[in-house]
Chains A and B, each alone.
Chain A
């Protein structure tokens, strides 16, 4: 089982991200759960969303406490909390940032594998708005092979209708442009 935790701010679409990912995995014949951090939605406040993917029925119905991957939609969150604090030792940090891996490591001291992408820029260019939840799925798929990129096509169409194409394009650009730097020993 792979456990993925999204960190964003209320309104940035973290819940949509995990739902799309879960739907893609289920369409691929896998089992998945996508769910929000339960509670009142507060626009702008830090929120989490969770996704589990496995080859068999998933019985864990609790928060993800030791994720395999954390995805941070909003770089400003790094200054007020520590999303990878409970990340598994061989876990992966996926960040929306315009900084280099060296800069991120120097600033936050992360030892984990980093997957970095400037999702704000990509979303502005491709979608025309700085909403990065679908864009960041591209970086996540670069970081893990939890589902194939094409598997997001159908869930995006179901969710966004005519806007799905732009979202899928942003996802693919992010997949291409994501930089991976392996874990530091």
Chain B
């Protein structure tokens, strides 16, 4: 079962959305997300996907329309990037607070200014606290797989939360590569049609999105927090079921050659594959360095991370974004915070890499390991580093 295809990753994602039988799509095109929604629009126009495709005048409207369509009970999808995600900002919180299982692809791209269309994680990190499930893909295959799984996770009645699949702009979206597709029957069996708990229906009127007085707001936010935290178990169940179906198993924290490693690199997204090559080269040279790949960003997999760093002296977090004036990149701050309660814990150092599309070769990660070791030996002199800044 399943078949192998060569395809641009963006187009593969649009096929995943088609195979998931999305019923409603509202989107505004933005580089590097454009090919995904362009292709979906053409599928709808050609009758290859039975869905409502709503062309809107902005991402603010795209997310607003998605909320309306999801409220009406449709399986709803959108995609955006960078400035588009920023323009959606206020509506993103509403989608999750109202518990609509919208699935969104974010083709990660740097935020302006200066204007830059290339890849980093600045866009999603600025929207970190929107209360959505957030997952990172490493390659085309994972982009396809996680798009299909996202609907099943989001629509689970124990979850009912919107879900973002992050894929690196250009580095993934614009690459033609080999992928395995499931057969439509397999997807249909894995992902039955969406059965909403409540729908907007004139025959049975309900109020959705009512306002909350100070007496209620805290309780509603507590419920949202619990829902997002508790989605962890359901996410793992869906990943397991998909693994049994496809042979491709996914974990919140993926480990690569971590056995006996005293030094661990940690990164999210597609550069993890490049980091693997650096780890291979270091291991061949007798240097026991390992790699952790953080797949699940929200809810944050605290326990998995604590177990994964067991035995390491140093964790080097390679952020793809900045928290200007803050502790470090957002991932480094989170990792250090997650490990702080441990009685025995590794040192955590932060090296932000690959901002605004800066090309990252395997040698970058080897340089980072060398620099971090030296820094640890002499005692950290600064909160974190931005790697490769030219003087």
- Which residue numbers of A lie inside 8 Å of B, CB to CB? 18-19, 22-23, 25-27, 30-36, 38-40, 57-63, 65
A6 to B86, CA, bound (A): 35
Most buried by A among B176, B277, B359, B360: B176
Q: Which residues of A sit under 8 angstroms from B288, Cβ to Cβ?
A: none
Beta-carbon contact of B274 and A59 below 8 Å = yes
Beta-carbon contact of B174 and A36 below 8 Å = yes
Beta-carbon contact of B273 and A59 below 8 Å = yes
Beta-carbon contact of A60 and B178 below 8 Å = no
Task: Report B234 CB to chain A, min CB distance, Å.
Answer: 29
Q: Which residues of B sit under 8 angstroms from A26, Cβ to Cβ?
A: 4-6, 176-178
Task: Report A76 CB to chain B, min CB distance, Å.
Answer: 26
A18 to B139, CA, bound (A): 18
Task: Report A72 CB to chain B, min CB distance, Å.
Answer: 21
Beta-carbon contact of A32 and B6 below 8 Å = yes
Q: Which residues of B sit under 8 angstroms from A40, Cβ to Cβ?
A: 117
- In the complex formed, the residue of A with least CB distance to B360 is A62
B361 at the interface (CB under 8 A from A): yes
Beta-carbon contact of A22 and B176 below 8 Å = yes
Q: Tell me the count of chain B residues lying within 8 A, CB to CB, of chain A.
A: 28
Listed A/B pairs (9) with beta-carbon separation below 8 Å: A22-B177, A23-B176, A26-B5, A31-B177, A31-B178, A34-B175, A60-B277, A62-B274, A62-B359
Interface string of B331-375 (1 = CB under 8 A from A): 000000000000000000000000001011110000000000000
* CB contact between B359 and one of A33, A36, A63 (< 8 Å): that residue: A63
* CB contact between B361 and one of A22, A39, A65 (< 8 Å): that residue: A65
Q: Which residues of A sit under 8 angstroms from B170, Cβ to Cβ?
A: 35, 38
Beta-carbon contact of A38 and B177 below 8 Å = no
Task: Report B387 CB to chain A, min CB distance, Å.
Answer: 14
Given A27-B6, A61-B271, are A35 and B174 also a contact pair (CB < 8 Å)?
yes
A25 to B4, CA, bound (A): 12
- In the complex formed, the residue of B with least CB distance to A21 is B176
B13-40: which residues lie under 8 A (CB-CB) from chain A? 32
Q: Which residues of B sit under 8 angstroms from A27, Cβ to Cβ?
A: 6
A30 to B174, CA, bound (A): 19
Beta-carbon contact of B277 and A59 below 8 Å = yes
B29-82: which residues lie under 8 A (CB-CB) from chain A? 32
Beta-carbon contact of A61 and B270 below 8 Å = yes
B8 at the interface (CB under 8 A from A): yes
Closest 6 CB pairs of A and B: A26-B6, A59-B273, A38-B170, A34-B176, A35-B175, A23-B6
A65 to B6, CA, bound (A): 24
Q: Which residues of A sit under 8 angstroms from B362, Cβ to Cβ?
A: 60
B312 at the interface (CB under 8 A from A): no
Q: Which residues of A sit under 8 angstroms from B155, Cβ to Cβ?
A: none
B181 at the interface (CB under 8 A from A): no
A77 to B197, CA, bound (A): 62
Beta-carbon contact of B175 and A39 below 8 Å = no
Given A23-B6, A32-B6, A38-B357, are A61 and B171 also a contact pair (CB < 8 Å)?
yes
In the complex, besides A38-B174, A65-B361, 10 extra interface pairs with C-beta distance below 8 angstroms are: A18-B176, A19-B176, A22-B6, A32-B178, A38-B119, A40-B117, A59-B276, A60-B362, A62-B274, A63-B359
Beta-carbon contact of A32 and B177 below 8 Å = yes
B266-291: which residues lie under 8 A (CB-CB) from chain A? 270-271, 273-274, 276-277
- In the complex formed, the residue of B with least CB distance to A26 is B6
Q: Which residues of A sit under 8 angstroms from B174, Cβ to Cβ?
A: 35-36, 38
Given A26-B178, A35-B174, are A19 and B8 also a contact pair (CB < 8 Å)?
yes
Task: Report B340 CB to chain A, min CB distance, Å.
Answer: 32
Task: Report B285 CB to chain A, min CB distance, Å.
Answer: 18
Beta-carbon contact of B273 and A61 below 8 Å = yes
B118 at the interface (CB under 8 A from A): yes
B98-133: which residues lie under 8 A (CB-CB) from chain A? 117-119
Task: Report A70 CB to chain B, min CB distance, Å.
Answer: 18
- In the complex formed, the residue of A with least CB distance to B6 is A26
Q: Which residues of A sit under 8 angstroms from B357, Cβ to Cβ?
A: 38
Task: Report A57 CB to chain B, min CB distance, Å.
Answer: 8
Beta-carbon contact of A35 and B271 below 8 Å = no
- In the complex formed, the residue of A with least CB distance to B32 is A38
Most buried by A among B177, B274, B276: B177
A90 to B227, CA, bound (A): 59
- In the complex formed, the residue of A with least CB distance to B31 is A40
Q: Which residues of B sit under 8 angstroms from A58, Cβ to Cβ?
A: 177
A34 to B5, CA, bound (A): 14
Interface string of B125-163 (1 = CB under 8 A from A): 000000000000001000000000000000000000000
Beta-carbon contact of B6 and A61 below 8 Å = no
- In the complex formed, the residue of A with least CB distance to B280 is A59
A45 to B361, CA, bound (A): 25
Beta-carbon contact of A35 and B176 below 8 Å = yes
Q: Which residues of B sit under 8 angstroms from A31, Cβ to Cβ?
A: 177-178
Task: Report A38 CB to chain B, min CB distance, Å.
Answer: 4
